[in-house]
Amino acid sequence: MPLLPGRLRRQPVLRAFDAGKLRRRVAQGLMCLLFGTATQLSDEPLPEAGIYRVVICRVSHALGNSLLLTPLIQELESIWPGAEIDIITRSQASAAIYGNYDNVNRVFQLPAHGVGHPRQWLGVMRGMRKTHYDLAIDPDPQSQTGRLFLRMAKATYKLGFSSPAKTGSVTHAVAVPGDVLNNGQRPVFLLRRALGRADAASAYPVPDIRLDDAETAWGRQTLGRLFPMPQAPARRRRTVGIFANATGPKLLGQDWWTRFTDTLEARCPECRLLEVIPMFGRSMLGSRYPAYYSSDLRKLASVLAALDAYVSLDCGIMHLACASHVPTLGIFTTTSAAEWGPYGPGNHVVQASGMPPETTALHVAAIIEADAGAAVAGAWEGGARRHALAALAGIGAPAGAQERP
């Protein structure tokens, strides 16, 4: 039909394809078909006795999500120290992350893309269903895939969040808390609330990759090779690691980092910078600084643990640094610090949305200096306390003891 004068043809509206949204809708539809409507909250607490076999259904490939699962594992170990824990995950680094947890028994490794490997997914399901668990946990408030594996598991008790995004009945459901947003803390809150504990929002375990003594010693030795000691005695300089890579809109260019590091070096001349090289093996800082690269996650964590501080944008390596117990400063520009920020002693969030790199560097420098001063004061106070106790005991000060400068 010809167009009438002055009449415009309507153009079709093109919408970007969202594979993740489609996957969630398909999974949600399957869950509704198999297991009915969304779960109802239960007032019956989980028992604290009789739990010996636990499975965690956290189907994610991301490094950060995998590391943020370790606080839940620590909480399970503290409540049921004699239990075995199995984990269902898509993380390719799961063996490196969970290998030093004695209570972790089996890790069911799913392929990164299940659509292309249905037989492997079915094999994991069959392997999981060979064991009857006392408790199965789906710790993610959003993932329908995790809920699918939870429902497929043979378990006496099944625990998960209750929300519009989750379908499929569980024996114990907990409402998603509005005041606990961090993705490392929410799974712990889920378990504590299901147990009926009044202190569900008390101090949370911090992510931990559990480096052993040999690994931390190796990390210190490696860092020593990167920064050889000077011939003449010199004041010890603090080593700050910089990881300049990130994904998507979080990524900042080399110019931003150049301005940042120039300001940081000027403000903290006693600090020396070490660039942590991304997995693709290329410097993001123009090869201006000593650098460390490793494709081995635990070797990288060992070197991170030897640093005095670590600085990066929100990324998986930031969570690895936090789990390695190096003071971690996470710079947040686009993502939610409440959900993804590092927490625990010595860890800080730097809100830098719309902030120039020079100002961000001054904030980071102030935190590093304040933490270093607090550490020195704490070390001196600890030494002074030991000397005072020795004097009270009539022992006298240890040989070589010095007064505070």
Q: Using one digit for the tens of pLDDT, what is the confidence trace for 282-297?
A: 999 999 999 999 999 9
Q: What is the pLDDT of residue 260?
A: 98
Q: What is the pLDDT of residue 396?
A: 38
Q: What is the pLDDT of residue 129?
A: 86
Convert 19-45 to b/e letters by CB count within 10 Å (16 or more is b). eeeeebeebbeebeeebeebbeebeee
| Same domain, yes or no: 189 and 240 | no
pLDDT greater than 70 at residue 2: no
Q: What is the pLDDT of residue 399?
A: 39
**Other beta carbons within 10 Å of 114:** 16
- CA dist 34 to 148, 170, 183, 270, Å? 10, 13, 28, 62
pLDDT greater than 60 at residue 335: yes
How many CA atoms within 13 Å lie on the side-chain side of 233? 0
Query: Is the Cβ–Cβ distance between 376 and 384 less than 8 Å?
Result: no
Q: How confident is the model at residue 63 (pLDDT cuts 50, 70, 90)?
A: very high
Q: What is the pLDDT of residue 24?
A: 58
Please check whether residue 361 lies inside any domain of the structure.
Answer: yes
| Beta strands per DSSP E along 269-401 | 271-276, 291-292, 309-313, 328-332, 348-351
Q: How confident is the model at residue 125 (pLDDT cuts 50, 70, 90)?
A: confident
Q: What is the DSSP letter of 3?
A: P
Window from 74-78, 142-146, 251-255, 313-317 with minimum mean pLDDT: 142-146
pLDDT greater than 90 at residue 62: yes
Window from 13-22, 86-95, 145-154 with minimum mean pLDDT: 13-22
Gap between the Cα atoms of 292 and 333, Å rounded: 25
| Same domain, yes or no: 113 and 223 | no
Please check whether residue 76 lies inside any domain of the structure.
Answer: yes
- Comparing 375 with 361, the larger pLDDT belongs to 361
Q: What is the pLDDT of residue 393?
A: 42
Gap between the Cα atoms of 181 and 199, Å rounded: 16
Q: What is the pLDDT of residue 101?
A: 98
Strand partners, 348: 329
Q: Annotate 144-199 with three-state secondary structure.
A: HHHHHHHHHCEEEEEEEEECCCCCCCCCEEEECCCCCCCCCCHHHHHHHHHCCCCC
pLDDT digits (tens, 9 = 90+) for 103-117: 999 999 888 765 566
Please check whether residue 400 lies inside any domain of the structure.
Answer: no
Gap between the Cα atoms of 340 and 29, Å rounded: 29
Query: Is the Cβ–Cβ distance between 382 and 389 less than 8 Å?
Result: no
Query: Is the Cβ–Cβ distance between 124 and 110 less than 8 Å?
Result: yes
Would you say the C-alpha torsion 280, 282, 352, 372 has a positive or negative sign? positive
Mean pLDDT over residues 58-87, rounded?
Answer: 96
CATH number at residue 96: 3.40.50.2000
Q: What is the pLDDT of residue 37?
A: 45
User: What residues contact residue 405 under an 8 Å CB cut-off, 6+ apart?
Assistant: none
Q: How confident is the model at residue 397 (pLDDT cuts 50, 70, 90)?
A: very low
pLDDT digits (tens, 9 = 90+) for 351-367: 999 999 999 999 999 99
| Same domain, yes or no: 218 and 188 | no
Please check whether residue 243 lies inside any domain of the structure.
Answer: yes
Instruction: Compute and round to an integer the Cα radius of gyration of the chain.
Output: 25
Please check whether residue 385 lies inside any domain of the structure.
Answer: no
pLDDT digits (tens, 9 = 90+) for 289-323: 999 999 999 999 999 999 999 999 999 999 999 99
| Same domain, yes or no: 161 and 31 | yes
| Same domain, yes or no: 298 and 355 | yes
| Same domain, yes or no: 40 and 179 | yes
| Same domain, yes or no: 189 and 223 | no
| Same domain, yes or no: 175 and 320 | no
| Same domain, yes or no: 163 and 218 | no
pLDDT greater than 90 at residue 200: no
Mean model confidence pLDDT for the chain: 85
From the centroid of its chain, how far is CA 260?
Answer: 25
Q: What is the pLDDT of residue 154?
A: 92
pLDDT greater than 70 at residue 243: yes
Q: How confident is the model at residue 258 (pLDDT cuts 50, 70, 90)?
A: very high
Q: How confident is the model at residue 120 (pLDDT cuts 50, 70, 90)?
A: confident
Residue with token string 């490939």 = 61
pLDDT greater than 90 at residue 278: yes
Q: What is the pLDDT of residue 18?
A: 62
Please check whether residue 200 lies inside any domain of the structure.
Answer: no
CA-wise closest residue to 328 among 259, 298, 317, 277: 317
Query: Is the Cβ–Cβ distance between 64 and 182 less than 8 Å?
Result: no
Gap between the Cα atoms of 325 and 268, Å rounded: 22
Please check whether residue 381 lies inside any domain of the structure.
Answer: no
pLDDT greater than 70 at residue 334: yes
Q: What is the pLDDT of residue 100?
A: 97
171, amino acid identity: T
Q: What is the pLDDT of residue 231?
A: 55
The domain containing residue 319 runs over which residues? 213-227+236-374
| Same domain, yes or no: 47 and 172 | yes
Domains: count for the chain: 2
- Comparing 26 with 221, the larger pLDDT belongs to 221
pLDDT greater than 70 at residue 47: yes
Convert 179-200 to b/e letters by CB count within 10 Å (16 or more is b). ebebbbbbbbbbbbbbbebeeb
Query: Is the Cβ–Cβ distance between 54 and 81 less than 8 Å?
Result: no
| Beta strands per DSSP E along 29-83 | 53-57
Between 144-152 and 118-129, two packed helices, what is the crossing angle to 10 degrees? 40
| Same domain, yes or no: 72 and 136 | yes
Query: Is the Cβ–Cβ distance between 159 and 190 less than 8 Å?
Result: yes
Strand, helix or coil at 378?
A: helix
Query: Is the Cβ–Cβ distance between 318 and 301 less than 8 Å?
Result: no
Gap between the Cα atoms of 207 and 322, Å rounded: 7
